[in-house]
C-alpha cells in the first residue's frame, strides 16, 4: 500500500470506528474518521479528498445519511473515491446497488482483518488508476483544445474514416488545404497515424464531439 494513501472511515458506531482506525493505521495507512456522512461531506467541500489516492470505508445504515446515499453524493460531486462497505445489515439489493455505483466490496463486519485490508488495498489501487486516467484525459483535452475550429472539423472527418478527397468535398475546401490541416493536427497532437489519432480521441473522451 502507498504511504500517501488515505482511508476515510465513516461510521456512527464509535467503538467500530476507533477499532478500524487503529487497524488501518497499524497497517501503515493514513486514516481520517467521521461519525456521519454529513460530517464527511462537509470535509469534502474543502477539497480534503483531493490529497491523493483515497477510498471510503463506511457502514450501510448510518443515521441521517446511509452509505449508499453517501456514495451517490460523492459520485455526483465527481470525486474519485472508491467505496468499501462494511455492515451487519447487508442484503442483496443493497449490495447490487453499491456495486453498480462502483463499490469495490461489500463486506460483513465479522470479516477477517486480512480480507478487509485486501479490499481496502484494491480500492486504493482502483482510485489511483482512476486518478491517473483522469490526469491523462485532462492533458489530452488541453491538446485537443489547441486545435482551431477548422482543424477540429477536419479531425472529425479523419477519425470517422474519411479520406482527404472526401473531407475536401464535405468542407468545400481544396485538398491541399485539408492536407495542411491534417499536418497541423498531427503536429499539435503529437501523433503519427490515423489509428493513433483515433485512439487518442477516444481516450480523451472527445470522439463523439468530433463531427
Highest average pLDDT, of 50-54, 105-109, 158-162, comes from: 158-162
Lookup: cell for 7: 482511508
- Give yes or no for residue 109 having a pLDDT over 90: no
Rounded-to-integer distance, Cα 49 and Cα 22, Å: 20
Alpha helices in the chain (DSSP H): 14-26, 37-44, 67-76, 92-100, 113-145, 149-159, 164-171, 175-189, 194-204
Distance (Å, rounded) from C-alpha 144 to C-alpha 64?
Answer: 44
Domain locations along the chain:
6-134, 146-209
Summarize pLDDT for 145-161 with one digit per residue, the tens: 999 999 999 998 998 88
- Full-model pTM: 0.75
Query: Could you say which DSSP state residue 50 is in?
Result: G
What is the reported pLDDT for 77?
Answer: 86
The better pLDDT of the pair 99, 8 is held by: 8
Q: What span, in angstroms and rounded, lies between the C-alpha atoms of 61 and 64?
A: 9
The fourth-level CATH superfamily of domain 6-134 is: Response regulator (3.40.50.2300)
**Would the pLDDT of 131 be above 80?**
yes
Q: Which three cell numbers, joined as nine digits, stand for 1?
A: 500500500
pLDDT at 1 over 60: no
pLDDT at 165 over 80: yes
| Architecture of the 146-209 domain | Orthogonal Bundle (1.10)
Phi-psi category of residue 102: left, alpha or beta, with phi > 0 → left and psi -120 to 50 → alpha: left
**In this structure, are strands 105-108 and 83-87 parallel, antiparallel, or unpaired?**
parallel
pLDDT digits (tens, 9 = 90+) for 62-107: 888 888 889 889 888 888 899 998 877 666 666 667 677 777 888 8
Contacts of 128 (CB under 8 A, 6+ apart): 2, 5, 53
What are the residues facing 30 on neighbouring strands? 6
Amino acid at each position: 500500500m502507498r504511504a500517501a494513501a488515505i482511508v476515510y472511515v465513516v461510521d456512527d458506531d464509535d467503538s467500530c470506528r476507533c477499532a478500524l482506525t487503529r487497524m488501518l493505521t497499524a497497517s501503515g495507512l493514513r486514516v481520517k474518521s467521521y461519525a456521519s456522512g454529513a460530517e464527511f461531506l462537509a470535509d469534502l467541500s474543502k477539497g480534503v479528498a483531493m490529497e491523493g489516492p483515497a477510498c471510503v470505508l463506511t457502514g450501510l445504515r448510518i443515521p441521517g445519511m446511509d452509505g449508499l446515499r453517501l456514495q451517490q453524493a460523492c459520485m455526483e460531486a465527481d470525486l474519485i473515491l472508491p467505496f468499501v462497505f462494511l455492515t451487519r445489515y447487508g442484503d442483496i439489493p443493497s449490495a447490487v446497488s453499491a456495486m453498480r455505483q462502483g463499490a469495490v466490496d461489500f463486506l460483513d463486519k465479522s470479516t477477517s482483518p486480512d480480507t478487509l485490508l485486501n479490499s481496502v488495498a484494491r480500492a486504493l489501487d482502483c482510485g489511483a488508476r482512476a486518478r491517473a486516467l483522469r490526469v491523462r484525459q485532462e492533458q489530452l483535452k488541453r491538446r485537443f483544445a489547441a486545435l482551431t475550429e477548422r482543424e477540429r472539423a477536419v479531425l472529425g472527418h479523419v477519425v470517422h474514416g474519411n479520406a482527404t478527397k472526401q473531407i475536401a468535398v464535405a468542407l468545400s475546401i481544396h485538398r491541399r488545404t485539408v492536407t495542411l490541416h491534417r499536418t497541423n493536427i498531427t503536429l499539435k497532437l503529437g501523433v503519427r497515424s490515423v489509428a493513433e489519432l483515433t485512439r487518442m480521441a477516444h481516450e480523451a473522451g472527445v470522439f463523439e464531439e468530433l463531427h
